[in-house]
Copies of this chain bind each other. A is one copy, B any other.
Amino acid sequence: MHKRVGRASVKYEEGVYIVNSASVVGTKEGQGPLGHLFDRVGSDDLFDCNTWEEAESALQKEAVYMALKKAGKKPEEIQMMFAGDLLGQSIATSFGLKQFEIPMLGVYGACSTCGESMLLGSMAIEGGFADQVVCVTSSHFASAEKEFRFPLEYGNQRPLSATWTVTGSGAFVLSGKHSHGDRAKITGFTVGIVTDYGLKDSMNMGACMAPAAASTIERHFKDFQCGPEEYDRIITGDLGTVGQQILLDLLREKGYDIADVHMDCGIEIYDADTQDTHAGGSGCGCSAVTFSAYILKQMEEKFWKKVLFIPTGALLSKTSFNEGQSVPGVAHALVIEHV
């Protein structure tokens, strides 16, 4: 059962269970502060493949394989898969997941895709269309630089506002039935609205996405008639240090102070001082692997009982950037509770 509490905000009565999950990351992420928590750290960012794109597909394949194994499920027990990535035409997803032969619904929300896939996956279960679904997203530093900016060989300079695309994939098995060992449950969501403040700097994506995160968080508070005190943590995807400050400022203007409970996956995943990542981590993989390896662990250990998880996406392409367009953002919010 569920209750609509706002235009695109829904509260689940029992909740949709996150049965299990897996995170697979690259070497740099393995060396970061969360390195010891990931399920697998690659010894080489090519993951035994010939191209960066194939490597990203390998990340997704491995993450889904491990998540299914940890959940004790076979691919044929899964009714639908919700998946996407950052590459043009989501090729990391198509090539990474075809082997599983699971009915597939591709989603695109830039780096908010982890949130969007779990939002839609939980809807499919809560609505009675599936018993069990898999949600998966990925990003890869090298394939993303090639897709959005410059080939690595060019060695371009990165301003301090730039973020570093996470090489990683996070996969989640969701179910409508509670079982022993569930990691947490999804108990509500707020769908994001595309928000554009007119910023055009693809090297400052935190600033481009912060208005979308602020819009979704504000709408969420109003729809759920709550405030920051409702949550142990309010966790954005990949705003980084520049975007975080803007988010806090924008929400203060709207009357909400979330500074005490705000956390950003992009800030957590690297040690900016020693890893040269500047404003933080980004990419679909950033929030996905941090959610699987760190956030869900904190909830299992009851350090946090209820968090608001808001992966954030910057809706640009190389073409839109080169044509002088702005960078709109979108952010979807999920309420996550411990079980």
Contacts and interface: CB of A to CB of B under 8 A. Distances in A.
Interface of A: 2, 4, 7-8, 10, 50-51, 53-54, 79-80, 84, 86-91, 94-95, 97-98, 101-110, 116, 119-120, 123-124, 126-130, 147, 191-196, 315-320, 323, 325, 328, 330, 332
B91 A89 contact: no
Given A2-B128, A95-B320, A320-B53, A89 B104 contact: no
A130 to B, nearest CB: 7
Contacts of A87: 88, 317, 319
A8 B120 contact: no
Nearest to A130: B8
Contacts of A330: 94, 104, 106
B123 A91 contact: no
5 contacts: A51-B323, A53-B323, A88-B88, A94-B320, A103-B192
Contact of A107 (B10, B106, B147, B328): B106
Contact of A109 (B98, B102, B105): B105
A88 B191 contact: no
Given A95-B325, A123-B123, 5 more contacts: A8-B79, A8-B103, A98-B196, A104-B330, A127-B127
The 10 A-B residue pairs with the shortest CB-CB distance, nearest first, are A127-B127, A88-B88, A8-B103, A103-B191, A94-B315, A89-B317, A106-B108, A98-B194, A108-B108, A88-B317
B129 A316 contact: no
Contacts of A8: 79-80, 103, 130
A2 B128 CA distance: 8
Contacts of A101: 193-194
B116 A191 contact: no
Contacts of A91: 315-317, 319-320, 325
A194 B80 CA distance: 12
B191 A328 contact: no
A143 to B, nearest CB: 8
Nearest to A106: B108
A315 B106 CA distance: 10
Contact of A328 (B94, B196, B315, B316): B94
Contacts of A124: 123, 127
Contacts of A7: 79, 103
A24 to B, nearest CB: 20
A168 B88 CA distance: 21
A194 B97 contact: yes
A174 B109 CA distance: 22
A119 B51 CA distance: 34
A160 B330 CA distance: 41
Contacts of A318: 88
Contacts of A110: 89
Contacts of A332: 105
B320 A10 contact: no
Contact of A106 (B2, B98, B109): B109
A208 B281 CA distance: 37
